[in-house]
Amino acid sequence: MRLDPLSLPVRFDAHDPRADGHVRQIELHRERVVLRRAVRGMQMAVNVRVSDFTGIALRGIDDTQMLVLVHRDPSLAVPLLVSADAEEIAKAWTMWSEIFALPRLDEKRRDPAARRRRRNAIRDRRPKFLVRRRAGVARDLPVHRDEREIIARN
């Protein structure tokens, strides 16, 4: 399998063990990747920006090597090139990383991804309009018992 990085957009089929027929269709553009597959008869299309991918990785399988567009979710990884020629792999690796502006990753030395920030990081802060106001101090008010009320009448 060989994809040319200079002839984008490209559409091809790839192996997917969880899809019906074990095949998924991949559309590869400069800014996005569209993955189409059917699972148990349900058609789905996943549109992912290229910037959401972590990088271009080199994976070795015996004597052949494979370039893969790696995503945090392994089921969204996209194969780019399968070859046994080391020179061809090195040239394609740099071309793909330059075109997508993604780093080159080595699967053997890959560090785990940094933990994502929680979306509600400022949830415990006070609302904006309450920040302007000073908080009042609760105090005990005096209670007068067994006294006669004074009522002012006109």
pLDDT in tens, 38-90: 988 899 999 999 989 999 998 877 778 888 999 988 888 898 988 888 888 88
Indicate whether 133 belongs to any domain. Answer: no
The CA distance from 92 to 19, in Å, is 28
Q: How confident is the model at residue 32 (pLDDT cuts 50, 70, 90)?
A: very high
Report pLDDT for 133.
65
Tokens of 26: 């991949």
Calpha distance 7→73 (Å, rounded)? 26
Residue 57 maps to which CATH number?
Answer: 2.30.29
Does 91 reside within a domain?
Answer: yes
Q: How many domains does the chain have?
A: 1
The range of the structural domain enclosing residue 94 comes to: 7-106
- Note the helical H segments in the chain: 86-100, 128-132
Distance of alpha carbon 89 from alpha carbon 63, whole angstroms: 12
129, part of any domain: no
Inform me whether the pLDDT recorded for 18 exceeds 80: yes
Q: In this structure, is the dihedral angle defined by the CA atoms of residues 62, 112, 102 and 43, taken in order, positive or negative?
A: positive
What pLDDT score does 113 carry? Answer: 57
113-146 burial code (b ≥16 CB/10 A, e <16): eeeeeeeeeeeeeeeeeeeeeeeeeeeeeeeeee
**Domain annotation covers residue 119:** no
Query: Can you tell me the mean pLDDT for 84-110?
Result: 84
- Segment 94-116 shows an average pLDDT of 76
Is residue 77, in this structure, part of any structural domain at all?
Answer: yes
Specify the pLDDT at position 125. 67
pLDDT value at position 85?
A: 87
Provide the pLDDT for residue 110. Answer: 55
* Tens digit of each residue's pLDDT (9 = 90 or more) over 109-139: 555 556 666 666 666 666 666 666 666 777 7
In a domain, 126, yes or no: no
The pTM of the full predicted model, rounded to 2 decimals, is 0.64
